A and B are shown apart, each in its own frame.
Chain A
Amino acid sequence: MTCLHARFRLLLGLVLLAGLAIGLSACADDEPPAEDAGQITIYSGRGESLVGPLIERFEEVSGITVRVRYAGTAELAAAILEEGGRSPADIFYAQDAGALAALAEADALTRLPDGVIEMVGAEFADSDGRWVATSGRARVLVYSPERVPNPPDSVFDLVDEEWRGRVGWAPTNGSFQAFVTAMRHIHGEDVTEAWLRGMIANDVREFPGNSPQVQAVGDGEIDIGLVNHYYLFRFTAEDPGFAAANRFTDPGAAGGLINIAGVALLEASENDDNALEFIRFLLSEEAQKYFRDETSEYPVSADVKARAELIPLDELDPPSLALTSLSDLEGTLALLQEVGALP
């Protein structure tokens, strides 16, 4: 009985202490009002490990305090829509173009000044100037050099009998869906549907995202995965002996699509100047070099060249397809559901 009471008291004490600590810390970092010139709030669908150091650098250079909420791109896009004009966020930093396009369509974004849009090539900005790309990733096949000495040149080869049960994909993933949208626009609905059905008939393995496929290629569970190019570099950074390689395919077609991460200024922001300063920083030479060197992505600024081990953008010949047209996700989702790739 005494022992129990003692533990109860201990527990109660801990809870009270925690409450007190929270109360004190709440008083301590009483946040300044939104008008405060020295602060912006970012909703980032890109992870802290990837962009955190860059944001710290921006704080150093500009003297502006940055508050960041990190979460999934889709969840944050929907949260911004739910918050509407009351959103505390100034900037949305997204992992894919689809989420940016959805916000643009809902009139949640402010048009960016021409000076910002012109910092990147025309193919890397929304045609209405409501968002701009900050870095690019190529769609590739990740494969096992040991088990696949002659990797295919086209995603369309993957429906061949040779690859039965050896290929992975991630139908729930935004990048994969953008790739299917591109395929619909370039090759037509019928070709895309036939390819999707052919892949399923060929016993394609389903994964919840890009990195599990890279892992599965390394583990030998599959021999080829449909992914973005830069995941492999993270795996080799963790384990230099990681046995997998990237294969660039389908120049000029959907398999050679360049996906983007991008940024937008929210309509709800009352902090436009600071927010625009951040967007300009992301497109500056320093930030573009960071994407090239640290996250192994393609820079979108013409002044910064891609990493030596990547095929340069102009040689990659990504499909001539406005990124904005990738926002036609609804048709892609309907198709993926129809063929049974999505629940």
Chain B
Amino acid sequence: MSVFSGVAEFPGQLRSRIPALWILASAAAGAACIPLLYLLIRAAQADGDAWADVLSNETGRLLLNTAALALSVTATSAALALPMAYLTERTDLPFARWWRSITIVPLAVPSYVGAFAFIVAFGPHGSLQELLSPLGVESIPSLYGFVGAWLTLTLFTYPYLLLVIRAGLRDLDPALEEAARSLGQSAWGAFWRVTVPQLRVSLAAGSLLVALYVISDFGAVSMMRFDTFTRAIFVRFGSSFDRSTLAVLSLVLVALVAVVLAIDWSQRRNARYHRLGAGAARAPRRVRLRRYRWPASAGLLIVTGVALLVPVAVLFHWLSNGLQQGETFPGLWSAALHSLEASALAGGVAVVAAVPIAIVVVRRPGFLSRIIDRAAYVGYALPGIVVAFALIYFSLRVTPGLYQTLGILIFAYAVLFLPQAISGLRSSLVRVQPGIEEASRSLNRNSWQTFTGVTLPLIAPGVLAGFALVFLTTMKELPATLLLAPIGFETLATGLWAQHQDVYFARAAANALLLLGCAALPMIILFGNDRGLRT
């Protein structure tokens, strides 16, 4: 059990004399706190009623609901993602390269689309019940409420954990597992006693992403009629237009997030996860599944089938209805280009902003770096609408020339999704032996040359994972895009929302299907090669 434990000391790797790294990291984390500043300014203007409202029993019920949902979704996502990551990375699973891409695409399904498709398919009078009715099944258990929200969010957020765990697995030195095997552990024992504890950083980072996503989700809980705190914020705000109330309620949400972050803080230890021996880690030998090959494939097929095929089938049904009526689809291609462009830029900007934070967190552990790390999560945990209003407020006052430009939109995405990029980077960076960086510095490379020449190639899987997470999440972002995008800059997500709102189901379906395609294609390019990403 103690193969990796022990408090690590990190001698001066990447330690520049000037605190440029700290300045960059603080700036990035500070940007993520802009929405919090806005909430404080607005909440200060709130009257007593707004605060009294917050202290009601209803608030307690909503917080309990939210916490229960976040915990359950995180637990089941981990239970799905861990075996899926291991199967696709470390075994001779048939068609592994396809599974590597396909298993993360559910991340791009907007939660309201997923929830809607599940209601159509598994609802009280849905397709499943129709299929079963010849067998005398007149009704099936209701999907609405906690169960529906839990199922939907699990199936569309497990890829957060999957991507981060996989980046961790790729960088894991197989020597430890082999040592465990040579000491008489079964493959199963080595997995639980060596591999899983080594993945603690990835599991924690991915779980945090899932839990905070659930806390800030509106789409799935509203379709499934489950009252969470974010739903209450949207509902009250949507009816009263009162930004002070919105701010007070959001601050309660911030308090809940602070609790989650504190729990995560107490769980992290300064353990060492990188290899100590000389040389480089070998590529791991693939575990042979033998008779479990097809059951394992069937498992993956069930998860991705429910998460992808069900929504796709529902969308195709709408699309074909519309095509029969001669529906036209204006503006689809420009929306797709806008989506790809905005998502790729957001991914790039978020990864660049996340690098200094990931470095100080991993290489310079301490109170300050932890504060920076926690601060970076604030924007992510807030509903997108709060971030949008914060940027309306500050952009018009500080940078009026940039208001409603692509620049401010990308900035909003980076504020919203920075932690996803950090998680990807961190789970790779902890595996990089500081000694390699020190060797580079001792050979007279400066810290920038060391980073680009040595560290960056080693953490490539984490960079890709971080980019992919932000890319996919940006694809489906709605509230900030609607308010902050340049006028006329319609994306697939805004098109999908608008057409569905106006009951143009065929057009909405075309937007949604194209969105899934635009999400899947880059993932196949990035993750679809057989050799994995070992460097």
Question: A and B, one complex?
Answer: yes
Residue of chain A at shortest CB distance from B61: A343
The segment out of B191-199, B283-291, B504-512 that lies at the interface is: B504-512
Known contacts: A3-B531, A47-B502, A235-B503. The answer to whether A75 contacts B321 by CB under 8 A is no
Is A79 a contact partner of B483 (Cβ separation < 8 A)?
yes
- CB of B374 within 8 A of chain A? no
Quick one: which of B325, B403, B499 contacts A237, CB cutoff 8 A? B325
- CB of A14 within 8 A of chain B? yes
CA distance A198 to B30 in the complex (A): 51
Is B232 a contact partner of A343 (Cβ separation < 8 A)?
yes
Residue of chain A at shortest CB distance from B53: A337
CA distance A286 to B501 in the complex (A): 25
Could you say which residues of chain B place their CB within 8 Å of the CB of A88? 403-404
Known contacts: A3-B531, A86-B396, A343-B62. The answer to whether A238 contacts B505 by CB under 8 A is yes
- CB of B533 within 8 A of chain A? yes
A222 to chain B, nearest CB (A): 9
Most chain A CB atoms below 10 A, which of B344, B348, B385, B501: B501
- CB of A252 within 8 A of chain B? no
- CB of B498 within 8 A of chain A? yes
Known contacts: A4-B533, A26-B406, A75-B483. The answer to whether A102 contacts B241 by CB under 8 A is yes
In chain A, residues 59-76, which have Cβ atoms closer than 8 Å to a Cβ of chain B? 67-72, 74-76
Could you say which residues of chain B place their CB within 8 Å of the CB of A41? 487
Quick one: which of A47, A83, A237 contacts B498, CB cutoff 8 A? A47
- CB of A285 within 8 A of chain B? no
Is A74 a contact partner of B321 (Cβ separation < 8 A)?
no
Quick one: which of B222, B237, B490 contacts A208, CB cutoff 8 A? B222
Is B239 a contact partner of A174 (Cβ separation < 8 A)?
yes
- CB of A274 within 8 A of chain B? no
Could you say which residues of chain A place their CB within 8 Å of the CB of B125? 219-221
B252 to chain A, nearest CB (A): 13
Residue of chain B at shortest CB distance from A230: B503
- CB of B227 within 8 A of chain A? yes
Could you say which residues of chain B place their CB within 8 Å of the CB of A79? 388-389, 392, 483
Interface magnitude class on chain A:
35 or more
**Count of A-B contacts judged by CB separation below 8 Å:** 154
- CB of B45 within 8 A of chain A? no
Could you say which residues of chain B place their CB within 8 Å of the CB of A76? 483
Quick one: which of B232, B241, B325, B396 contacts A74, CB cutoff 8 A? B241
- CB of B240 within 8 A of chain A? yes
Most chain A CB atoms below 10 A, which of B322, B406, B487, B504: B487
A83 to chain B, nearest CB (A): 6
Is B525 a contact partner of A7 (Cβ separation < 8 A)?
yes
Could you say which residues of chain A place their CB within 8 Å of the CB of B225? 206, 208
- CB of A140 within 8 A of chain B? no
- CB of A302 within 8 A of chain B? no
Quick one: which of B241, B322, B396 contacts A99, CB cutoff 8 A? B241
A258 to chain B, nearest CB (A): 20
Known contacts: A77-B241, A78-B241, A219-B125. The answer to whether A4 contacts B502 by CB under 8 A is no
- CB of B400 within 8 A of chain A? yes
Could you say which residues of chain B place their CB within 8 Å of the CB of A3? 529, 531
- CB of B305 within 8 A of chain A? no
- CB of A309 within 8 A of chain B? no
Could you say which residues of chain B place their CB within 8 Å of the CB of A74? 237-239, 241
Quick one: which of B235, B487, B498, B526 contacts A172, CB cutoff 8 A? B235
Could you say which residues of chain B place their CB within 8 Å of the CB of A68? 487-488
Is A83 a contact partner of B396 (Cβ separation < 8 A)?
yes
- CB of A329 within 8 A of chain B? yes
Is B498 a contact partner of A48 (Cβ separation < 8 A)?
yes
- CB of A308 within 8 A of chain B? no
Is B223 a contact partner of A78 (Cβ separation < 8 A)?
no
A57 to chain B, nearest CB (A): 15
- CB of A202 within 8 A of chain B? no
CA distance A10 to B494 in the complex (A): 28
Going nearest first, the 9 A-B pairs with the smallest beta carbon separation are A234-B503, A47-B502, A71-B482, A343-B232, A343-B227, A74-B238, A49-B502, A220-B125, A15-B348
Which residues of A are in contact with B by a Cβ distance under 8 Å? 1, 3-5, 7-8, 10-11, 14-15, 18-19, 21-22, 26, 41, 47-50, 67-72, 74-79, 81-83, 86, 88, 98-99, 102, 172, 174, 177, 206, 208, 211, 214, 219-221, 231, 234-235, 237-240, 329-330, 333, 337, 342-343
Between A and B, 13 residue pairs with Cβ closer than 8 Å are: A1-B535, A18-B340, A22-B341, A41-B487, A70-B482, A72-B501, A78-B237, A83-B392, A102-B240, A102-B241, A177-B239, A329-B239, A333-B240
Which residues of B are in contact with A by a Cβ distance under 8 Å? 58, 62, 120, 123-126, 222-223, 225, 227, 231-232, 235-241, 243, 318, 321-322, 325, 327, 340-341, 344-345, 348, 385, 388-389, 392-393, 396, 400, 403-406, 457, 460, 467, 479, 482-483, 487-488, 490, 494, 498-507, 525-526, 529, 531, 533, 535
14 additional A-B residue pairs with CB within 8 Å, beyond A72-B501, A82-B392, A238-B505: A4-B533, A7-B526, A47-B502, A49-B499, A49-B502, A49-B507, A70-B482, A78-B389, A79-B389, A82-B243, A219-B120, A234-B504, A238-B318, A238-B321
